[in-house]
Structure 1
Amino acid sequence: MPHFKLMAVPDRQAGKCMPRGLAARALRLAAATGLLLSFAAGGQQPAPEVQQRRTAGEVVLTDDAGSLSAGPLAQVWLDETGGAGIEQVLQPGVHFEPEQADTVHPLRPGAAVWMRLRLLRAEGEQRQWLLVFANPLLDEVSVWQMDDSGRWRVQTAGDRVPVDRWPEAGRYPVFRLELPAGQPREVYAQVRSAIRTSVPVRLSTDVAHNQRQQLEYLGLGSAFGALVLLIVACVAQGWAYRDRAWAGYAIYAGLSTLCVMAYTGVAGHLLWPSARAWADAAPGVLAFLSAGAAVLFVRDLTAVPARNRMLGRATGICGWLAVPLAPAYLLFERKLALDTLSVYLALVAALNVAVAWMAWRRRDVVGLWVLFAYVPLAAAVTAAMLRLLGWLPASFVAQYAVVAAIVLEVPLLLVALSIRSRERHGAHVREQALATQDALTGLIAQHLFQDQLQQVVSRFKHDREDAAIVFIDLVNHARIKAQHGQTVAEQSLLRSVIKLRRLVRDVDTVSRIGEARFALIMEGVRSRAVITDRAARLIAAGLMPLQGLKPEVTLQFHAAAVLLCENPVEAGELPEALGALLGSMSPRTRRPIRFLDPPDTQPIPIQTDTSGGPGSDSELLPASG
C-alpha cells in the first residue's frame, strides 16, 4: 500500500474481541509483532547530519538521506481568517517564523496555518522526494509548487477530499515534489483543522516512504486480521452455544474494528475512497457506537444490574445514549461534536473501569480480566482527549496508542466472556439436569425410571429379553434423621448411593424413587443368585461404619426383587408389588432379601366327551352275554 491517508476526527476509540488457547496466543503475538514493527517504522528519525545540510537557507536533499523531519526546517505563518491564497502569502507583509518542535497550532474552523520550505535537490541525485503529513487530525492539506513555466500549481488532500481524488491515495496526505536537480524551489503548504493540533510533516524519498508504508500496513494488517478472526470465532462460538452474548460481542467487536480502521485511515483508503462527508465523520460516529456497545457489553458481562441497581441504570443509559449521539455527531458544529465525543469516551472509560473494579472486589475473576482490558484503553483515551484539547502534540506513538490498547483489550475481553459463558453454560446444564436427575444423589429422575421400566417389560414380552428389577430401602433412614438431623440423614443417602454404585454394572439403571428408596434395573439377569449376591454385599457394606465418621452411623438395607422370567408382572403393577413386599418386612427381619413369588399354576382339567361320537367311551363294545 503506497502513501498516506489523512484522518479527520481526532478522538476515536473502539472495541474488543478474542479466541482461546494456542490460536489466541498466536494471534496476539502476530498483532503485537505487527504493531511493534509499525512503532519501529514510526520511530525512525532522520540522521542528524542530514538535517544540518543547509545552504543559504536552503535544505539540501540527497538520496542517502532517506527520510527527515521537515518541521524544524520549515517556516510557518498562522492565517487567522483562513482566506489567504498563494498570492497573499507571497506578499512582503506576510511574516513567516521558524517552526518550533512539537508546536501545537491554535487552529479552529476557518483558520489555517501556512508552512514554507526552501528545498534543493543536490546535483546528480536521482530519488523522487515526497512531502508527507502523517497527522490524522488534519481536515485538509493543500501544497503549492511552481512548475517550469513559473506558475503555481496546487494539490489537495485530507478527510474533506475523497481519497480517490488525492494526488497519492493512501491513509494520509502525501505529495510528490517537483525538484529539478541543482535548482532551489520553494514549497508552500496550507493546513486546515477543526481543532488545535501540531503538524508533524516529513520529507522522504519514495523508496523510504514505500518501505515505511509497508511496515505500517504490516502492523495494521496483523491487528485487523486478528480482530476479524476473533469476530469469526465469536460468531462460531455463539452458534455452537446458542448464546446471544457471543453474538452481541461479535457485533461490538465489528463496530470497534470499523472504528479503528476509520481512525487509522484504512477505511477511507480501502472501504469508502469516494466518500467525502462520511470519510470525515466516520471515525466519530463509529467511536460513539463502539463505546456505547462497550458499556452495554461490560454491563451484561459483569451482571451489574443484579448487584447495583443505580450503577446498572447509569451504564444502561450511557450505553444507549450512543444511539442518538452517533447521528447527532453529523449535525453538530465540529468543535462541539468533538468535545461531546471526548466527554462521552471519558465517561465510558470511567464507568467500565468502575464496574470492573467493583466486580473484582466481589472476587469475580471476570472483573479482573475486564480491568486488565480497560485500564490501558482508559489511559490511551485520556491521551487522545488531551491531544484533542491541544495539550499534547500529535505523534506516532500517541496516535496509535488507542489502536494498541484496543488490540490488547479485545482478546482480554474475550477471555472474560469465555469464563462467564462457561459459568452460564454450566448453570444451564445443571438446570437441565434437575429435570432428569435427582437433585441430592444425581441418580436419574423417577419419571425417567418409569419410562425405562416400561421399555424393559415391553422388550421382555416381545423379544424375551431377561431383566431383574430390585427395590432397595434404607430402613433406618427415619431413625437417623430423628437422632442426628437432616444433614446426617442426607449424608447417609449419599453413602448409600456410593455403596450401591460400587456393586452394579455401568449398564444398570439406578434411580431414587422415594425419600429413602432406590430402584435398580439389571438387564440380562435371569438368576436369583446374582441378585442375592449383590444385595448381600450391599447389606454387609452398610453395616460397616465409615472410618473416622462422627457420629458412627450404620446403614440398614432391605431388598425386594423380581425376575421377569419368573414373574412377568406389568410395568404399572411392579412398583406397588415390590413396595408391598418391602413393607411386609420387619426392621429386624432375618430375610432382608426377598423375591416376588411366581404366580401359582393350576392343573388343566381333564374334559370328558359324552357326545357318543366317534372316539368316545361309547365306542367300547358292550360286554358279551
Structure 2
Amino acid sequence: MGRTTTTISCWIGVLWWLCSMGMAGAQGTPSTATPAPAAIVLGAGERVISLDSRSRFWIDDTGKRPVEQVEAAALADTLPWQLRVPGSSYNLDGNKAMWIVFDTVLPTRKRWFIELQSSGLDRAQLFYRGADGQWVEQEAGDVKAVSDWPVPGRFPTFELSSAGTEPVRHFLRVEHARVDFATPVALYDQAALVASREREQFLLGAYFGLALLITLVAAANAIAYRDRNFAVYAVYVGSLAIGQLAYLGVGAQHIWNEMLKWNEVATFVLPGISGAAALWFARTVTEPGRFSKVLDMFVWLLILALLAAVALDTWLLTRTSFAVVMVLAVLSLVTVAGLIAMVWIKGDDPYIRLIALGFVPVVVMALFPVARGLNLMPASGLTRYALAIGAAVEMPILFYALTLRGNRRRESRVRAAALSHNDALTGIAHQRTLLQRLDDAIARARTLKRPCALLAARISNFDAIIEEFGRETGERMLVVAASHLRHAITDIDLAARVGSHDFALLLEGPTTAEIAMSRAQQLVASGLRPNDALPPAATLKFHITVAMLPDGERDAPGSLQWLVDGLDSMRPDARKLIRPLNF
C-alpha cells in the first residue's frame, strides 16, 4: 500500500514538473527589431505558403493598441518586431494580443486567403487598407458564431487584399488565453483552400460516421444481451466522438454554432469527460479489482478527480486549472497503459490481449494532443488529428474483441436455449426438429412438383473405435461427424442427429439425384481424412443411404425410417458405402 502511494506521488510530481515546464516556455522577446522580410509574391508557383520566417510579430502586453498605432510603429520600426519562426509558442494570457505583420503582392486577380490552422482560438482579426485607403477588418474566433465569420469553417480564415501589383501590408491580431498560441498560419489560393477543406470534411465524416455506427451497435448489443462491457463501450466511443467534435471545431461549425458561451468552454470540457469515460471503460474490461483492490480504488478516484478538475476548470477558466486537467489526463494515460500491461501479463481471458492491443492506438496517439495542451509542442496536423486517427483504428478492434468475449461468456446460455431443438453433444438438430422440417419439405415438394432429398449416414466403425480408444474418443467422433455434416450443407439445408451414431441430411429446395449423390460422396471423403481431434488411426467410415422425396405416400417418419432400414441392411464391411434407394 505504501509503495503504491509513493509511486503514484512520484508520477504526479513528474507530470506536474512537465506541466510547469510547458507553461514556463520561452516567451521572452528581444528588445531589438528584426528587419521586415520581403513581400510575399502570391501566385508565383506556390499554392500554399507558410508565414513562418516570412512574417514578423509583436506582443501587445495591454491588448489595447489600435491597428493605426501598430501600423505607424511598423513603419517607423519603433516596436521590437521579431521574425516568426517554426515551432514557436507564445503565452498570451492576461489580455495580451499578438500582432503578426506581413506584406503581399498579388500580380493576378486570383483570390487568396489566410488560415489559422487551429480551432478554439478566442479571437482573430485581419486588417489591411483597401484601395480607398480605408481599413478593411475581418474577425473570427470563439467570440463570434461560425456562421458570422468572413469565411465559415473549422478554422479562422480571412480573404487577403486583391489590390494590384503594389505590396499590401496585412496585420493579423490574435487573442488566445490559457494555452500558448503556437498555431501554424498559412496563405492559400482559393483552389488549394477548397481542396483542403473537402479532403478534411471527407475524412472527418468517415470518422464520425464510424463512431456513430459503433456507438449505436454497441448500445444495441448492451440492451439485447444485457452486456455491461458494451454499455460502457458505447458511452466511451460516444463521449470520445463528442470530445472530438469540440476539439476539431466540427461542433462549433455544425452543431452548437450559436451557443457562444458553450463553445468557449466545450474545447476544454468535452475532451476531459471523454478521458474519464476512457478510463472507466479500461477499468470495466480489465477488471483490476481481481488483482488489487487498491489499484481498483485508485482508478475510481482518478476518474472522480478528472471530472472534478474539469468542473473546476470550467468555473475558474485559468491556465493553472487547465494544467491540472492535463496532468490528470496524462496520469490517466499512464494508468490505462498500466492496466493494459497488467492484463497482458496476468490476464487469463483468451481475448483480453486483443482488447489490450485495441487500446494501444489511442494511448499512443493521445500523447500528441496532451503534449500540445501542456505546451510541450506546437500545434500541427499531428496534434489535431492524432487522437481521431487512433480512435478510428481502435474502434473496430475493440468492438470485434468485445463481440468474441461476449459470445464466449454467453455460450452456455445459448447452448441451453438451443436444447429444445438441438442435440446437446453435437449442436446440430435432433430428430424431432428434423421430422418437423421434413414434413414441411415433403408437403412443399408435392405442391410444387419439385423433389427434395434425404440422406441418412451412419458411422459404421463407431463400436470398433470405442472398443479400441474408449468412450471419450467416441464422443469426439460424433462431434467431428456433425462438423462434416455442417460443411456438406447450405444455409437452407438441415443436418440432424437421429440415433446413437446415425445422422441425417435434408436437402431442401429444388434438387436432383446428382446433387444428392455428390453431397454423399463429399461426406464419405471428409470422414476418411485424418482429424486433429481424433487419434491418427481413428477415421470416420460413413455408410450412407440416399432417397429423393416424396416417395409415394410416405410421410416424414416413414421416410426417415425407410432410410435407417436401408442402413441396417448394409454390411459393416460393405465395399459400396453409398446406397441410393429410389433412383
Q: TM-score range by the shorter chain?
A: 0.5 to 0.7
- Give the structure 1 partner of residue 371 of structure 2: 386
Instruction: Give the drift of 1:408.
Output: 1.7
Q: Which has the higher contact order (CA 8 A, sep 6+)?
A: 1
Matches within 5 A, 1:252-401: 252-363=236-347, 364-401=349-386
Cα pair distance change 1:307/1:493, threshold 3 Å? farther
Aligned to 1:57: 38
Q: Equivalent of 2:113, from 117, 124, 130?
A: 130
Q: 1:380 to 1:507 in 2, by over 3 A?
A: closer
Aligned match of 1:169 = 152
Which residue identity does 1:115 align to in structure 2?
Answer: I
Q: SS in structure 2 opposite 1:180?
A: coil
Instruction: Structure 1: give runs of 5+ residues left out of the alignment.
Output: 1-54, 444-490, 510-547, 549-625
Cα distance in 2 for residues equivalent to 1:158 and 1:346: 28
In structure 2, stretches of 5+ residues that fail to align are: 1-35, 427-468, 482-495, 501-534, 536-583
Given that 2:242 and 2:270 are in contact with CA atoms closer than 8 Å, whether structure 1 keeps it comes out as yes
Aligned to 1:121: 106
Q: Deviations over 1:479-521 (max 9, x none)?
A: xxxxxxxxxxxx999799999999xx94679xxxxxxxxxxxx
SS at match of 2:138: strand
Match of 2:171 in 1: 188
**Residue of structure 2 equivalent to 1:154:** 137
SS of the residue 2:169 aligns to: strand
Q: How far apart, CA to CA, are the structure 2 residues paired with 1:200 and 1:87?
A: 26
The question of whether the paired residues in 2 share the 8 Å contact of 1:197 and 1:388 is answered with: no
| Letter of the 2:168 counterpart | R
CA contact (8 A) 2:109 2:162 kept: no
Q: Deviations over 1:45-97 (max 9, x none)?
A: xxxxxxxxxx9932221264321112221111112232222133124332322
C-alpha displacement of 1:133: 0.6
Is it true that 1:416 corresponds to 2:407 in the alignment?
no
Query: Are the structure 2 counterparts of residues 437 and 70 from structure 1 closer, same or farther at C-alpha, using a change threshold of 3 Å?
Result: closer
C-alpha displacement at 1:304, in angstroms?
A: 1.9
Give the Cα separation in 1 of the matches to 2:143 and 2:284.
38
Measure, in 1, the Cα distance between the counterparts of 2:291 and 2:398.
Answer: 20
Q: Quick one: distance in 2 between partners of 1:368 and 1:500?
A: 33
Q: Deviation per CA, 1:326-361, whole angstroms, max 9, x where unpaired?
A: 433321223123212211211221111111111111
Whether the 8 Å contact between 2:343 and 2:356 is mirrored in structure 1 is: no
Alpha-carbon distance in structure 2 between the residues aligned to 1:389 and 1:129: 33
Deviation sequence 1:179-224 (CA, Å, 0-9, x none): 2122321110111222223231111111110011111111111211
Aligned residue for 1:71, secondary structure, equals coil
Tell me the equivalent position of 1:66.
47
CA shift at 1:247, angstroms? 2.7
Contact 1:63 1:205 in 2 (8 A): no
Is 1:139 the equivalent of 2:139? no
Give secondary structure in 2 for the equivalent of 1:90. Answer: helix
Deviations 1:374-397 (A, max 9, x none): 333333333323322323122112
Provide the rounded CA distance (Å) in 2 between the counterparts of 1:419 and 1:311: 27
Which of 87, 99, 102 is the equivalent residue of 2:87?
102
Report if aligned partners of 2:59, 2:99 keep a CA contact under 8 Å in 1: yes
State whether structure 2 residue 203 is matched by structure 1 residue 222: no
Contact 2:310 2:325 in 1 (8 A): no
Per the normalisation by structure 1, the TM-score is 0.59
What's the counterpart of residue 521 of structure 2? none
Higher-Rg member (1/2): 1
State the Cα RMSD in Å. Answer: 3.5
Residue 64 (structure 2) pairs with residue 78 (structure 1): no
Matched residues in 1 for 2:340 and 2:478: separation?
47
Task: Supply the AA of the counterpart residue of 1:94.
Answer: L
Q: What secondary structure is seen at the aligned counterpart in 1 of 2:259?
A: coil
Contact 2:37 2:54 in 1 (8 A): no
Which stretch of the first structure deviates more once superposed, 80-89 or 249-258? 80-89
Cα gap change, 1:390/1:245 in structure 2, threshold over 3 Å: closer, same or farther? closer
- Cα shift readout 1:270-323 (whole Å, capped 9, x = no counterpart): 111112121121132211221111111121112222332111122223234444
Provide closer, same or farther for how the CA distance between residues 336 and 277 of structure 1 changes in structure 2, counting only shifts above 3 A: farther
Are the aligned partners of 2:119 and 2:247 in contact in 1 as well (CA < 8 Å)? Answer: yes
CA distance in 1, matches of 2:164, 2:363: 50
Match of 2:171, SS state, is strand
State how 1:586-605 maps to structure 2 within 5 Å: none
In 2: Cα distance, 1:69 partner to 1:285 partner = 31
Cα distance 1:372–1:220, how it changes in 2: closer, same or farther (>3 A)?
same
Amino acid in the other structure paired with 2:159: R
User: After superposition, what is the alpha-carbon deviation per residue over 1:4-55, rounded to whole angstroms, capped at 9, x for unaligned?
Assistant: xxxxxxxxxxxxxxxxxxxxxxxxxxxxxxxxxxxxxxxxxxxxxxxxxxx9
Structure 1 counterpart of 2:234: 250
Where does residue 208 of structure 1 map in the other structure? Answer: 192
Match of 2:515 in 1: none
Quote the Cα distance in structure 2 between the aligned partners of 1:316 and 1:66.
51
| TM-superposed deviation, 1:171 | 0.3
The DSSP-based 3-state class of the residue aligned with 1:191 is strand
Matched residues, percent identical? 24
Alpha carbons of structure 1 residues 187 and 273: separation in structure 2 relative to 1, 3 Å? same
Question: Take 1:496 and 1:104, find their aligned partners in 2: how far apart are those partners?
Answer: 74
Which residues of 2 match residues 463-482 of structure 1 at below 5 A? Answer: none
Deviation at 1:100, TM superposition (A): 1.7
3-state SS of paired residue (1:82): coil
Give me the whole-angstrom Cα distance separating, in 1, the residues matched to 2:421 and 2:290. Answer: 29
Asked if the contact 1:63–1:126 (Cα under 8 Å) also holds between the matched residues in 2, the reply is no
- The answer on whether the counterparts of 1:301 and 1:420 sit within 8 Å (CA) in structure 2 is no
